[in-house]
Structure 1
Amino acid sequence: MGKSSSGYSHYESPDRFKGGPLPVAFARELAAALAPEGIPAGDVFRLTGLPIPVAEQTVADLVNVYDVQASAGNGVVVHDEQAVAQLAFPPGYLARLTSANPRDLKIISVKGDSMLPTLADDDVVMLDISKRDLSYDGLFVIRDGGDALLVKRIGRASQRGFVTIISDNRNVYPSVEKSLQDIEVVGRVIWRGGKV
């Protein structure tokens, strides 16, 4: 926020601040600092005791977009994982979608046809990288030996310590069982977007 700790603590000190309304300028700085934690700016501006400015009512939730492709096919090798943009969502949308910390959400693209009709080539998916437990069925992005990223449906396997890696386009891509030790989970797919 660009403030010293004593300058900030003034607003949390009952003796000095007396719990009065926050100054608008301070609320704006505080809202910007708390946005990466998923706290809506409108919640902070309520502490001013004034009507929430329109600009603060419409602050979008932002999720980083990475220049990474997960294969819905036989695997894409990833060499560079850098955020290249942010995708904006309506205020409060992410909170209705997930309870995850916004820092744990990543958007990447999908290449290939193995997950048709669920995911198509050039769709984008949002991952929650805090969800890596494969004991629950669902769509996950995994590394299957090395740098290759795959987006696949994960299901139960016939033997303990294994999972079934399932492609929704089953006529072309058969399911396979893999040991949990051979799989690195990147995150669970919680949202998709694509062309119509």
Structure 2
Amino acid sequence: MAEVKLYDIEAAAGDGRSLEQENVESTLYFPTDQLAAQGLDPAQVVGIKVRGDSMDGTLADGDWVLVDRSRREPKPEGVFLLLVHGERRIKRVQRVAGGAWLLISDNEHYQPEMIKPEELKDVEILGRCEIRIGRVS
């Protein structure tokens, strides 16, 4: 069994600390072979609690998402845990012409955010969101 530490992203937002410095809210255990079948290295997987409605349609407030910390490049495009100006966010990341990134919320009430190449120094991909754990409605 692989131990996956679960962190509350709301508690982590805004301070720019690494996840290892945060309090672990809980721990889940998954069969190692099942994580491997999903292409995940258990040593690189952490769980993050989703806060807010910006990713509604994909992730809901209160969902948990398993993040693969080994996948820190926005290719292929997907949903990532990011550190943006010291704040942790979960957004779609799309590379655009000229080396900029577009941070996209799945909730249409939020406008995409353009990160220009000169601003990328203030943005870090912490990992790719791979598996959602949430209520079925």
Q: For this structure pair, what is the TM-score category when the shorter chain's length is used for normalisation?
A: 0.7 to 0.9
Q: 2:9·2:51 contact (CA, 8 Å) conserved in 1?
A: no
Secondary structure of the residue that 2:50 maps to in structure 1? strand
Unaligned regions of 5+ residues in structure 1, if any? 1-59
The answer to whether structure 1 residue 105 and structure 2 residue 45 are counterparts is yes
The residue aligned with 1:154 is 93
| Aligned counterpart in structure 1 of residue 24 of structure 2, from 55, 68, 83 | 83
Q: 3-state SS of the aligned residue for 1:95?
A: helix
Paired AA for residue 142 in structure 1: L
Distance 1:188 1:169 in 2: 19
The structure 1 residue matched to 2:112, chosen from 156, 167, 175, is: 175
Residue 70 of structure 1: how far off its partner (Å): 8.6
Q: How many residues align?
A: 129
- Cα deviation per residue 1:19-61 (whole Å; 9 max; x = unaligned)? xxxxxxxxxxxxxxxxxxxxxxxxxxxxxxxxxxxxxxxxx33
**Following superposition of structure 1 onto structure 2, how do residues 39-78 of structure 1 map, counting pairs within 5 Å?**
60-69=1-10, 76-78=13-15
Larger gyration radius, structure 1 or structure 2? 1
Q: Contact (CA 8 Å) 1:67, 1:108: kept in 2 or not?
A: yes
Q: Report deviation, 1:93.
A: 1.1
Q: Which has the higher helix share?
A: 1
Q: Distance in 1 between matches of 2:89 and 2:25?
A: 20
TM-score normalised according to structure 2 size = 0.83
Could you tell me which runs of 5 or more consecutive residues in structure 2 were left unpaired when the two chains were aligned. none
Q: Secondary structure at the match of 2:76?
A: coil
* Higher share of residues assigned strand: 2
Structure 1 outlier segments of 4+, above 6 Å: none
2:58 aligns with one of 118, 134, 139: 118
SS at match of 2:121: helix
Matched, 1:132 2:72: yes
Residue by residue over 1:39-95, the C-alpha shift from the partner in whole angstroms, topping out at 9 and shown as x without a partner, is xxxxxxxxxxxxxxxxxxxxx332111233399xxxx32566132322122452101
- Structure with larger RCO (C-alpha < 8 A, sep 6+): 2
Distance in 1, Cα, partners of 2:99 & 2:75: 10
CA RMSD of aligned residues (A): 2.1
Matched position secondary structure for 1:117: coil
